[in-house]
Structure 1
Amino acid sequence: MTNSRDYWQGFRDGTPFILLILPFGAVFGIVATESGLNILETMGFSVLVIAGAAQFVALQMMLDNAPVLIVLAASLAVNLRMAMYSASLAPHLGAMSWWRRGIVAYFMVDQSYAASVLKYEQQPHMSHGQKFAYYMGVVTPICPVWYMATWAGAALGTAVPSGLPIDFVVPITFLALIVPMLRTLAHVVAALVSIIGVLVFSFMPFNLGLLVAAVLAMMAGAETERRMTRARQGQA
């Protein structure tokens, strides 16, 4: 019963994200089909990769005829945040069975991480079963909607007027997720360095500036955190 309550609490917390996931997934479906992918290939992207930002990056680089290794490297760079998400959730979910960890890993997206880590920090007394139930509740209204929105965009993309500015949803989605997560100086520094890096290295071919900016941002954030930790230890 307790796990059921946590599941439905997660479901309620994840439901508002539908307002962002629906247009985001539809935009990808439209862009993918307009780029020459068929519906099966487009759905393969969303079901197997299930990472909107990386999907857009990979699609754009494929259109630019970038080498396969460059496409993979750029997509991995964009998704490096998932490794940080995993490290952040490990103290809460790392002791679960391997199959549960596999499910968590597959469904790990920005929204499921943001909602879950906030819940776990607010209620550290939750059991592993409760945490897993809450996590699954969050992803229930998110991931299936992402699949359906992608399919709808791919199937109905030709009916959308070419001049309709629907791509504004993509940056708004990430702004809505990132801003509340800028809770420390290290987070702010990493975000600023990534923005500056993308602008400075925008001249690089195949969007390689994304790789450089991502590495610089992680280095800057890690160094800021190291100095902050040293300063706190010195004060103690």
Structure 2
Amino acid sequence: MSYSPATQQFLKGAKDGLPFHIVIWPFAAIFGAIATQAGLNVAEVMGFSILVIAGSAQLAALQLMTENAPTVIVLATALAVNLRMGMYSAAITPHIGKASLATRAFAAYMLYDQPYALASIKFEKEPDLSLSEKLGYFFGVAIPIGIAWYLLTLAGALLGEMIPTDVGVDFAVPITFLAVVAPMLKTLAHVASALTSVVLVLVLSFMPYGTGLLVAAVAALLVGAQVESWMEKRKAAA
């Protein structure tokens, strides 16, 4: 059977994204179980996953909600955790920015760590891909992972306490982030920003409701921007 180039790229993206399912499946199921055990009903859990579709932000927000943190802290923390999505958007716009408004809106919804990481690497290695091929690959990674996230979240929410939430898969989230972030640390500004965030999160861990994360996120952005500006001035002077 002969497929169009866009369909071929979609299938390639789906194949490349398969290793991430090893993390997504248990992570989604455990989130669903934890959320129901925290008092959310199935509709609320699914609304959470479908509307936010960002596991790290969802877990951070859920933890703060169980601690009765102020709503503004919950929202600010979730926003800080997801600030990287704005950078993802800026980085991928040159590749798919000419798509239709509806397509760009759906791509924005599906823009999370795994499809961004794989798509950015793909687009850099194969710059001659057409717009439809780039979209095909991006959605090939994003859609199957998104569907898996919904279904396994639902399974976790329905099974509730039948799913153990202490099976030790929490290590999978930082490992996934390392796999996504490490290839992107290509400049001194990137490294400086990453180191700043790591150090400050550890130093400020004593702050209530995880607000140290908010401070670390802002500081990392400022440091990264400052180093980038310094590097550009140095290049211009040279």
TM-score class normalised by the smaller sequence: over 0.9
Helix, strand or coil: the match of 1:173? helix
Matched, 1:87 2:90: yes
Query: Under a length normalisation based on structure 2, what TM-score does the superposition of the two structures give?
Result: 0.93
Task: Please tell me whether residue 216 in structure 1 is matched to residue 233 in structure 2.
Answer: no
Structure 1 residues 163 and 93: CA distance shift in structure 2, 3 A: closer
Counterpart position of 2:22: 19
Aligned letter for 1:55?
Answer: Q
Q: Secondary structure at the match of 1:203?
A: coil
CA RMSD of aligned residues (A): 1.5
Counterpart for residue 198 of structure 2: 195
Q: Does the CA contact (< 8 Å) of 2:50 and 2:150 recur in 1?
A: yes
- 1:176 has 2:179 as partner: yes
The size of the alignment, in residue pairs, is 235
Runs of 4+ with deviation above 4 angstroms: none
Q: What's the CA shift string for 1:16-70, capped at 9, x where partnerless? A: 2111111221221122122111222111111110011110111111112112122
- Cα distance in 1 for residues equivalent to 2:207 and 2:199: 14
Residue aligned with 2:111, SS? coil
How does 1:1-236 map onto structure 2 within 5 Å?
1-161=4-164, 163-235=166-238
TM-score, with length taken from structure 1: 0.93
Q: Percent identity?
A: 51
Shift in Å, 1:231: 2.5
Residue ranges of structure 2 left out of the alignment (5+ in a row): none
After TM superposition, the structure 1 stretch with the greater mean CA deviation from structure 2, 225-234 or 68-77, is 225-234
Give the whole-Å Cα distance in 1 for the aligned partners of 2:167 and 2:14. Answer: 32
- Per mean C-alpha deviation after superposition, the further-off stretch among 213-222 and 11-20 is 11-20
Distance 1:167 1:156, change over 3 A: farther
